[in-house]
Amino acid sequence: MAVGNGMGIGIPMVNLGLGGGGGGGASFLLDDYPNTTGHSYSLRQLSSTVTNVVRVRRSSDNTEQDFTATEITDGTLATFCGAGEGFVAKWYDQSNSADVLNFTALQQPKIFVEDGIGGYEVALENGKPCMVFDGVDDSLQVLLGLPYSSIYYLFAVNTWVSAPAEGDGYMYGLRTPSPPFLSGDDLSNSISWDGSTGRMKGAGIPQLGVTDLTFPKIGTFPQSLYYARQAVGAIGSLGSTLKINTNQYPVFGATANGSAQINSIHLGESGGGSFNSNIKLQEFILYFADPGGSDATAIESNINTHYSIY
CB 103 within 8 A of CB 79: no
Low-confidence ranges of the chain (pLDDT < 50): 1-25, 179-184, 204-211, 231-239, 250-259
Residue type, 194: D
What per-residue confidence (pLDDT) applies to 164?
Answer: 78
Query: How many whole angstroms from its chain centre is CA 40?
Result: 9
What per-residue confidence (pLDDT) applies to 218?
Answer: 60
Asked if the structure places residue 1 within a domain, the reply is no
Asked if the structure places residue 85 within a domain, the reply is yes
Asked if the structure places residue 17 within a domain, the reply is no
Q: Is 307 exposed, middle or buried (0-12, 13-18, 19+ CB in 10 A)?
A: buried
Asked if the structure places residue 225 within a domain, the reply is yes
Of 228, 255, 107, whose CA–CA distance to 158 is shortest?
228
How far the first Cα of the chain sits from its last, in Å, is 23
Report how far residue 276's alpha carbon sits from residue 163's, in angstroms, rounded to the nearest whole number.
10
> Alpha-carbon dihedral of residues 221, 43, 9, 149, nearest 10 degrees?
80
Asked if the structure places residue 7 within a domain, the reply is no
What per-residue confidence (pLDDT) applies to 260?
Answer: 57
Positive or negative, the CA dihedral 190, 138, 65, 25 is negative
Asked if the structure places residue 109 within a domain, the reply is yes
Coil, helix or strand at residue 17: coil
Of 113, 43, 53, 124, whose CA–CA distance to 84 is shortest?
113
With a CB cutoff of 8 Å and minimum separation 6, the contacts of 236 are 205, 208, 210, 258
Positive or negative, the CA dihedral 302, 307, 308, 310 is negative
Q: Is 44 exposed, middle or buried (0-12, 13-18, 19+ CB in 10 A)?
A: buried
Report how far residue 196's alpha carbon sits from residue 181's, in angstroms, rounded to the nearest whole number.
23
Asked if the structure places residue 152 within a domain, the reply is yes
Positive or negative, the CA dihedral 25, 27, 30, 34 is negative
What per-residue confidence (pLDDT) applies to 292?
Answer: 61
CATH number at 112 reads 2.60.120.200
Domain of residue 263 covers 29-307
Asked if the structure places residue 243 within a domain, the reply is yes
What per-residue confidence (pLDDT) applies to 172?
Answer: 80
CA distances from 244 to 143, 197, 213, 248, 309 (A): 26, 18, 11, 11, 11
Segments in the chain forming alpha helices (H): 29-32, 69-73, 76-81, 293-307
Q: Please give the tally of structural domains in the chain.
A: 1
